[in-house]
Each structure stands twice: as C-alpha cells, then as structure tokens.
Chains A and B, each alone.
Chain A
Amino acid sequence: MSARGRALGVVAIVATLAALSAGCEREARRFKDPATPTQMSRDWLAAQRRGSAGGEAPAAPNPYARNAWAVSEGKRLFTQMNCTGCHASGGGDIGPALADAAWIYGGRSGDVFVSIVEGRPNGMPGYGGRLTVQQVWQLVSYVQSMSGQLRKDVRPGRSDNLYLGQSEQARRAQPSPRLEPARAPAPR
C-alpha cells in the first residue's frame, strides 16, 4: 500500500471513530448547564409574558433542550408536583393535553415557563414559589418532550412507574406544533 493510501486509511478510521463518538453525547450527563440562570428577574418574566401575548420579545432558548438528564428530572417532577393530577400523563384530563400540537398559551420555551411560574386562568396554579428556576426549566423541557419538540435521543425512554402510554422517545414528533398562542375567543 502506498504511503498516501495508508494516510487516507488512517483519516477514514479517525473520521469513523469521531462520527461514532458523537453518539455518546446523550450519555454525557451534564448536571450543571452553565447557561441555566439560577434566578429569575421580574423584567425577564415580564418580557416572556409580552412574548406570550404576541409581542415581539424573542423566545427564551431552553437551556436544557439537549440535556437528557434534565428532561428525565422534569419527568420525575411532573409526577411529584402532581402535574399528572390534571394533565394525566400528557393526554389531558381536567387540564389540557400536553402531548398534542395545540397550545392555548403558546408552546415556546418562554411561554411554558411563564405558564408554570405564574399559572394560567381557569385552573392552572402558579408554581413560582415552589420550584427553583432550574426545576422549572426541567419541567419545561419535559413538557416539550411530550409532544416531540426535543431531539429524540434527549426524550425519556423509560419510566420509574407503570406507564401505560407510549414512552416519550417512541412518540412521533407532532407534525407542526402550533407554538403560538391560540387566538382568544371573541368577546360576546
């Protein structure tokens, strides 16, 4: 084999290994995401609220969108904080379904964040005083994973409890989730 052929072979092997090691990313458990704020300022929340109302505020990026550990923690909190009491396991019950493409108050990260922290009319309580900012982001990530908005390898693939539905990982991503808030009903 010529020297050039050997060099090409080495390059090919290195490239294959690099491509394969990209698959290990999910297993790299990042417990601390430097991008996650530990505090929420009133201004930031207000900006997100304006965004939800159809204003021009840019959607807040979800710091845990690629963090499988944080999403699974969100799944744990979803049960522990009794979100399942109203939303069931995503199919909806007293509260609206979260595993479909319809979002009453918007499905962008910032919208879901505000919904959890401040609550929404007609029953959704605000959890701002009960959860830390990281925990809210973990819940936001899990709620987004229910409708397949997050990458498939980041979505939870197993449950701690008996779970009759399809696992989040196995769900098909919703074709085009309507992330903007639904139009408010016209006043009578």
Chain B
Amino acid sequence: MSVRARLRPARAGAGIALFLAGCAGPHHALDPAGPQARHIASLWWLLFWVALAVLLAVVIALLVAVLRGVATRAHSPREPGVVVTMTERGTVAAVTVAVGLTALIVLSLLTASALVGRTLAGLRSPDALSIEVVGHRWWWEIRYPGAAPSEQVTTANELHVPVGRPVKVRTISHDVIHSLWVPSLHGKRDLVPGHPGEIVLQADRPGVFNGQCAEYCGVEHALMRLLVIAEPADRFDAWLTAQRETPPPPTDPEARRGQEVFLAQQCALCHTIQGTPAGGRVGPDLTHVGSRQTIAAGVLPNAPEHLATWMLDPQSVKPGTLMPASAIMGDDMAALVIYLGSLR
C-alpha cells in the first residue's frame, strides 16, 4: 500500500471535519440566530431531504432495472442476446407515474418556497427599530435616526442591534450595487443606487455575527465586511447613548497633538469627528472610532499598530481602496493613533 493510498482515509476524514466545522459559527445560514434565518434554514432542510429522497429513489430504480435486465437475460437461454423489456402498457404507466411525481414534487417545493417568502414578508412589528445602512466602496455606513438631528448616530461597519427586537433596515447606496448579507440572520438584500430597499432582521440570542457584501461591487468587494453585534436591550441602549455623545476635547497632551495633526492634514476632508471642524462625509465617521472592534471594514483588528499601517500604506491592506496614503511620520503618527484610540 503506497503512502498516498494510506493517506486517503485521513484526508477524507479531514475533509468531513472541515465540512462539519463550516456548519456552525458566526457566519452560517444553517446556524440561524433569528426567526427569519430559521424559516430560511427550515426551507433549506426541506429541499435537502426531498432532493436526497429523489436521488435515492432514482438510484434504486436504476439499480433494480440493471439487475433485473441481467437476471432476465440470464434466464432466457432460448433467445440469446434479446433483452426482455417491459410491455408497452407497463412503460406508459411507469412514465406517467414518474412525470406526475416529478410535477408534484416540484410544485410542492415551489409552494413551500413561496409560503416561506410570504411568512418572511409578514414578519413585521410596529415597535421595530429603524436603522439605515448605506453601502459605499468598500465599507458600510450605519445610521441610527433620532427624533432630533443631534440624536442621530452615524457609525461604520458595526451594526449594533438589541436582542429579541425586530430591526427594520433601510438599504441605500449612492455608488454601485452592493448587497447586505448576514447569513445567521436573514437572506440577502441588494443595495441599489436610487432605489432604497428594506429588510427586517431580528437576533434572538446575543452574539457577534458576520456580514458580507454579496454583490460584486469592485476590487475590494471581498473585503467589504460587517459585524452585527446583538446585545441585550439595556446594553444596546447604553451603547446608543454613548454613541450620541460628542467626545470631549482631548486633555492628554499627546492626544491633543494628534487632534491637531488630524485637522491640519488631509484627514478632515473625508472624515467626520463630532465636536471638531472635521466634517467630511466621503469616508467613515470617526467620532467613536476607538470603540469599534475592527478598522477598514472588518479587515484589521482595531489596534494602534494596525491603525498606523492602514494610514501609512492602505494599498497594502486593501489594494484599490479609496483611502489615500498619508505622509504623516514619526511622533505625529504616534500622536494621531493615540488620539483616534481615545475616541471611545
């Protein structure tokens, strides 16, 4: 037995383990965390079991036909070479039954799919929380509308939702078509320029779920990621209140120098920090950037060294990104990183 042959079972085992590992975690449609995803998952399993039953029936029928053909030939010594087939009546009956069954199965699956779609469309709630998601190349802008303009919260790449409460997400795009997809919560919803859409999400358990752009939108499409953070209502409210606050002017001298660098360099032309003259709306709002888990739309963890890398050489992190490389060096960069980290 060669080494390769001996390795074969091990490799198959590893493959199966990998496949099973894919069936759970923060990014899986078959590990639903909300009612919408549960309906979709049940439809998926229905399709899977029906398709499996059809496959087995076809394989068994094929085997029976082959074996019976062989057996018949073996028992016909008087007519060698002649395969005994069914009578014409029998053939007509078999084909009729098969066509009827196929039509029935396809129609029932279609009906099941339509019913699930209907149920999903009906899952609305008057007390749903309204959130706006704007797709940009290549990041997500998240807006929580407030009663007054001062209560509106704008953040990026992190969708915080309260557990157990439906969330009505308005999907907007101003450049190209993106698609919002959080597999653990719901199916996909396209963000079409000039045509706002809507999708209702609900997380039934606290946790962090991954989202991803699901419509090819340019070179960095694959690195356009989103975190959905589901928290109990009280913690969500605390988060929203904290996000509404304007950060106080930095007191630490390093952070104050960082703010000066931010405002003197090109940063302020694209980014907003509430409470400062920086009011650009081309890039993500940085008012509370220090409180986020990731930067660059989920590509890098939010850590000082990654912030510096991202600002100095963004093309090495996300080739093609619209974030320009900055020429901020040495102590200025260190101060800027401290300032951005202090925006919690």
Q: Quick check: is A135 within 8 A (CB to CB) of the other chain?
A: yes
The answer on a CB contact under 8 Å between A31 and B320 is yes
Residues of B close to A5: CB separation below 8 A: none
Residues of B near A129 (CB, < 8 A) are 264-266
Distance to closest chain B CB from A65 (angstroms):
19
Would you mind naming 13 contact pairs between A and B with Cβ atoms under 8 Å apart? A29-B219, A31-B315, A32-B316, A32-B319, A38-B327, A39-B329, A69-B320, A80-B282, A129-B265, A130-B266, A132-B266, A132-B326, A135-B266
> Chain B, interface size: which category?
10 to 19
Q: List, in ascending order, chain A residues with CB within 8 A of B265's CB.
A: 129
- Residue A134 lies at the interface, judged by CB distance under 8 Å to chain B: yes
CB contacts (< 8 Å) of B322 on chain A: these are 73
B325 interfacial by beta-carbon distance below 8 Å: yes
List which B120-159 residues lie within 8 A (CB) of chain A: none
Q: In chain A, what residue has the closest Cβ to B269?
A: A130
Q: How far is the CA of A31 from the CA of B220 in the complex (A)?
A: 12
B278 to chain A, nearest CB (A): 12
Chain A residue at minimal CB-CB distance from B219:
A29
Residues on B with beta carbons closer than 8 Å to the beta carbon of A80? 282
B275 within 8 A of A: no
B25 within 8 A of A: no
A188 to B153 Cα, complex, angstroms = 60
B325, A134: Cβ atoms closer than 8 Å: yes
The digit string for A66-108, where 1 denotes a CB below 8 A from any CB of B, is 0001000100000010000000000000000000000000000
Shortest Cβ distance from residue B328 to the other chain A in the assembled complex, whole angstroms: 10
| A-facing residues in B268-292 (Cβ within 8 Å) | 269, 282
Bound-complex Cα distance A73 to B319 (A)? 13
A69 to B303, CA, bound (A): 30
CA distance A80 to B322 in the complex (A): 12
- Taking a contact as CB atoms under 8 Å apart, the answer to whether B316 and A132 are in contact is no
Residue of B nearest to A39 (CB): B327
Mark interface residues in A125-149 (1 if CB within 8 Å of B CB, else 0): 0000111111100000000000000
Give the secondary structure class of A's interface.
loop
Residue B324, interface by CB 8 Å: yes
Does B327 lie within 8 Å of A133, measured CB to CB?
yes
Shortest Cβ distance from residue A92 to the other chain B in the assembled complex, whole angstroms: 25
Identify 11 new A-B residue pairs, CB closer than 8 A, beyond the known A32-B313, A73-B322, A132-B327.
A31-B315, A31-B320, A32-B316, A39-B327, A69-B320, A129-B266, A130-B269, A131-B266, A132-B324, A133-B327, A134-B324
Q: Most chain-A Cβ atoms within 10 A of its Cβ — which of B265, B316, B322, B324?
A: B324
Task: Quote the shortest CB–CB distance from A125 to chain B (angstroms).
Answer: 13
B299-324: CB near A (< 8 Å → 1, else 0) gives: 00000000000000101100110101
Bound complex: CA A127 to CA B296 (Å): 26
- Closest 8 pairs (CB-CB, A-B): A132-B324, A39-B327, A31-B319, A31-B315, A38-B327, A32-B315, A135-B324, A130-B269
Q: How far is the CB of A40 from chain B (nearest CB, A)?
A: 8
B325/A29 in contact, CB under 8 A: no
Chain B residue nearest to A138 (CB atoms) is B324
CA distance A133 to B326 in the complex (A): 8
Given A131-B266, A132-B266, are A29 and B324 neighbors across the interface (CB < 8 Å)?
no
A residues in contact with B282, CB < 8 Å: 80
B320: chain A residues within 8 A (beta carbon): 29, 31, 69
Question: How many Å lie between the Cα of A73 and that of B322 in the bound state?
Answer: 8
Q: How close is B299's CB to chain A, nearest CB, in angstroms? A: 15
- Write out the residue numbers on chain A whose beta carbons fall within 8 Å of the beta carbon of B329: 39
A38 nearest in chain B by CB position: B327
Residues in chain B near residue A160, CB distance under 8 A: 175
Contact B325 A132 (CB under 8 A): yes
Q: Mark B245-275, 1 if CB is under 8 A from A, else 0.
A: 0000000000000000000111001000000
Q: Which of B196-220 contact A (CB under 8 A)?
A: 219
B281 to chain A, nearest CB (A): 11
Q: What separation, in Å, do the CA atoms of A80 and B219 have in the docked complex?
A: 20
Q: Are A38 and B319 within 8 A (Cβ)? A: no
Q: Report the Cα distance A69→B326, complex, angstroms.
A: 19
Closest CB in chain B relative to A145 CB, distance in Å: 19
CB distance from A31 to the nearest CB of B (A): 4
Q: Compute how far the CA of A69 lies from the CA of B320 in the bound complex, rounded to whole angstroms.
A: 9
